[in-house]
Amino acid sequence: MLLLFAGCGGRGGDAPAEPAQVRSPAQRDWESQIGTAWEQYEEGFTAGWVEGCEAVHDAVAAEYDEEYANEVVGCADPPPSGYGGAPLEVPDDPRAAGHVDGVAEACYVPPEVSGPVEPDC
């Protein structure tokens, strides 16, 4: 008598399990927003945000006047935190990546400003 036990004793036709991905300590720190690379990113972001905000301020001041620019462009406010646009992977140059992201975050003309204002950022 011949007995066949289908599906017993092993994985059968299951695909092999994917190997677990090993993240570097730097990547773990990056994802937790801590460590040297993250600090460099924050420094770059802040510098870029200030640069972008000042470019918007200067463009509004040139089109209208300094007082109005001070009123509608909040460069005295600290840059936003959260860094929602931060890269998912640790950049090769965190400070430069942060700078680019900071400029991009700040370089917008507030909706209160009507008229053709084009900041140089």
Q: Which two tokens stand for residue 35?
A: 């460590």
7: left (phi over 0), alpha (psi -120 to 50) or beta: left
| Of 33, 26, 31, 74, the residue nearest 50 (C-alpha) | 74
Q: What are the extents of the domains in the chain?
A: 25-106
Cβ neighbours, 10 Å, residue 4 = 5
* pTM value > 0.85: no
In the chain, the N- to C-terminal Cα span, in Å, equals: 83
Q: Could you read off the pLDDT of 20-37 as tens digits, one per residue?
A: 678 899 999 999 999 999
- Nearest-angstrom CA–CA distance, 118 and 92: 31
pLDDT of residue 6: 52
